[in-house]
A and B are shown apart, each in its own frame.
Chain A
């Protein structure tokens, strides 16, 4: 009950940190999806480029997130900017890879029919390839978002705020309640967004079956 009262008393701070966390991750995800989709589409036209790009995104993800943020501080100082850039870099792999495989796995006769009927490359990409790759793309976004929410917590170290602040302060002050509430809110955010996207994914899949 103690922890519940603690939560009620500090709800304003908790909500402020939660929304800070949420919008930081949201901004990063929007940028990440835009870049990832464009890169993912472009590399379907060139096998060599695809290999190189996918390799780079893989390396980006193997860098420990704390180290990645640390590298960014000298360039972007502290605050939300290095945090968002770090999350964007870190979440490129699932998005780029899924756009790429989603498009590559489209039945080639569908693309051939579209070309043979005189659809332009632009139209084929937006009317045929992307809609057909959508379920796979959304699956990639789900993975990326869950990763992004988790990274958002660590971003507290570069002064980006968010729920990470609560957890790390709790650790410094050995305040279990702060740690637990911070961790629970982060987990809840990840789970909710993931569930929501899974519904969107199911709808997209249903449209294609």
Chain B
């Protein structure tokens, strides 16, 4: 989808090239993380794709077409662009901000309005509330959501993201990262994502490209990078705690077990039988469509009769099946429990994870 061929960028009056003979291929629908220390050339590499920076030599192709064959303005209208400081236009409303590229592309008003509302909803911002607000009325997280919506407005196949979540506090950042990954499952854009945060790279990337002094030091899946760092530089970049970092690589759905559950109106006897046969101390209670409602404990049921739902306890915490083991583990530690139920985005019960599963999943045999 995107291909760099012997790309070099040398700024005037500097001794070394910012980007030095770089070759890279990025597949369609992939998030490619460019990671490295400040000044390593990762941002320059990214900005050459939409010609905010022109390469000194070499070629860049999008979908087989050389980007130099396009007028930069047209090229940029078909590439989404999100930057760290967001760069929302303070004198325009949220709707006007999002409509920037569609307006440049001369869409009619009706189509633009529809698209703006659609995107605001996608970003979980109520259009009625936010459409006519100004950027200064929004929190940092909301602004960055609008920034992403604005980049997606004309549905470009390619997106460039320059540390988009870098200026946010850790909690908001993690939330937006998860939201964005969920979104990406639907929209499947080809994304170049620049970051200096290796944890973010591991979490977000389908592919990680480690850059140093304008050259690629290593590229591969997050798993490759964590398991086989190419040299000391990559090793230092990853830092210690490689096992803990691997927690970010695995999602809950990959290691969860099927779980036993009973309906709210299942007779207690039947529930107790299932639990005794399978050696369970607790069992999940579900309602319609397998929706998770709560759980019941065996000790409450001894010698009782009635419906399982009569002994319902509130489920305090579940994790989303797409969240990483890191999220699951921190929830477990927070509530002091050795297991946690996993649900999908509509709260339907999907399974459970125990603390031992997490240990098994990340212990590396090295």
Known: A112-B83, A209-B136. A117 touches B88 (CB 8 A): no
Residues of B within 8 A of A111 (CB): 87
Chain A residues 114-159 with CB under 8 Å of chain B are: 114-120, 123, 128, 131-132
Chain B residues with CB below 8 A from A128, complex form: 89
Report whether A113 and B81 are in contact in the complex, using a CB–CB cutoff of 8 Å. Answer: yes
Partner among B72, B85, B91 whose Cβ is within 8 Å of the Cβ of A109? B85
Give complex CA distance A17, B205 in Å: 75
Is there a chain B Cβ closer than 8 Å to A10's Cβ? no
What does DSSP make chain A's interface, helix, strand, loop or mixed?
helix
For the complex, is B358 an interface residue (Cβ under 8 Å from A)? Answer: no
Contact with B along A84-124 (1 / 0, CB 8 A): 00000000000000000000000101111111111110010
Interface presence of A207 (CB below 8 A): yes
- Whether A109 and B83, one on each chain, are in contact in the complex, defined by CB atoms closer than 8 angstroms, is yes
Q: What mask results when residues 50 to 92 of chain B are scored 1 for a CB within 8 Å of chain A, else 0? A: 1010000000000000000000111111100101111111110
- The interface centre, meaning the residue of A109, A118, A131, A209 with most chain B CB atoms within 10 A of its CB, is A118
Measured CA separation A128–B91 after assembly (Å): 8
Q: Is the CB of B91 within 8 A of A207?
A: yes
Find out whether the CB atom of A118 lies under 8 angstroms from the CB atom of B73.
yes
Quick one: which of B74, B77, B86, B136 contacts A113, CB cutoff 8 A?
A: B86
Candidates A107, A118, A123, A209; contact of B87 at CB < 8 Å: A107
Residues of chain A within 8 A of B83, CB atoms compared: 109, 112-113, 116
Contacts A116-B50, A118-B75 known; A132 to B81 CB distance under 8 Å?
no
> With an 8 A cutoff between CB atoms, is A208 at the interface?
yes
For residue B282, CB closer than 8 A to chain A, the reply is no
Alpha-carbon gap, A208 to B136, bound state (A)? 9
Chain B interface residues (CB < 8 Å from chain A): 50, 52, 72-78, 81, 83-91, 100-101, 104, 136, 147, 150-151, 160
A-B contact pairs, 6 of them (CB 8 A): A111-B87, A112-B83, A118-B73, A118-B74, A118-B76, A207-B91
